[in-house]
Chain A
Amino acid sequence: MKFIELKNVNKTYSTGVTALADLSVTIDKGEFVFVIGHTASGKSTFIKMLYREEKPTKGSVIVGGVNVAKLRNGRVYKLRRKIGVVFQDFKLLPKLTVYENVAFALECLGVSASEIKPKVLKAIEIVGLKEKTRSFPHQLSGGEQQRVCIARAIVNEPKLLICDEPTGNLDPDTSKEIMKVIENINKELKTTVIMATHDKEIVNRMKKRVLLIEHGVLTGDYLKGSYKSHEAV
Chain B
Amino acid sequence: MKPFRIIGRSIRDAFKSVFRNFSLSMASILCATITLLVVAISLLIAGNVENATNNLKDELTIVVYLDKSASTDDADFIENSIKGIKDVDKVTYKSKEEWKTEMSEYNASFGTVFENYEQNPLMDSFTVTVKDVNSLERIATEIEEMDKVASANYGEDTVNTIISVFDVVEKVTIVVVISLIFVTAFLITNTIKLTIYSRRSEIEIMRLVGSSNIAIKLPFVFEGFIIGVLGSLIPVIVTIYGYIIAYERLGGHIISDLIKLIPPYNFVFLVSLVIVGLGALIGMVGSLMAVRKYLKV
Which chain A residues have a beta carbon within 8 Å of chain B's beta carbons? 51, 73-74, 77-82, 85, 91, 93, 104-105, 107-112, 152, 156
Contact = CB atoms under 8 A, between A and B. Distances in A.
Interface stretch (B59-67, B203-211, B229-237, B244-252): B203-211
Identify whether the interface residues of B are mostly helix, strand, loop, or mixed: helix
B201 A93 contact: yes
B62 to A, nearest CB: 66
Most chain A CB neighbours (cut-off 10 Å) among B1, B211, B213: B211
A108 B211 contact: yes
Contact of A81 (B2, B9, B209): B209
B2 A110 contact: yes
Contacts of B204: 91
A77 B201 contact: no
Contacts of B6: 108, 110
A109 B209 contact: yes
A77 B202 contact: no
Interface residues of B, number: 20
B9 A107 contact: yes
B213 A108 contact: no
B209 A156 contact: yes
B5 A73 contact: no
Interface in B60-79: none
16 contacts: A51-B208, A74-B213, A82-B210, A91-B201, A91-B205, A93-B202, A105-B209, A107-B9, A108-B6, A108-B209, A108-B211, A109-B210, A109-B215, A110-B3, A110-B5, A110-B9
Contacts of B206: 108
Most chain B CB neighbours (cut-off 10 Å) among A105, A109, A112: A109
B212 interface: yes
Contacts of B9: 107-108, 110
A109 B1 contact: no
Given A93-B201, A93-B202, A93-B205, A109 B297 contact: no
A10 to B, nearest CB: 24
A108 B2 CA distance: 10
Most chain B CB neighbours (cut-off 10 Å) among A51, A74, A108, A111: A108
Contacts of A107: 9
Interface string B1-34: 1110110010000000000000000000000000
Q: What 5 A-B pairs are tightest by C-beta distance, nearest first?
A: A80-B210, A81-B210, A110-B2, A105-B209, A110-B6
B2 A105 contact: no
B208 A85 contact: yes
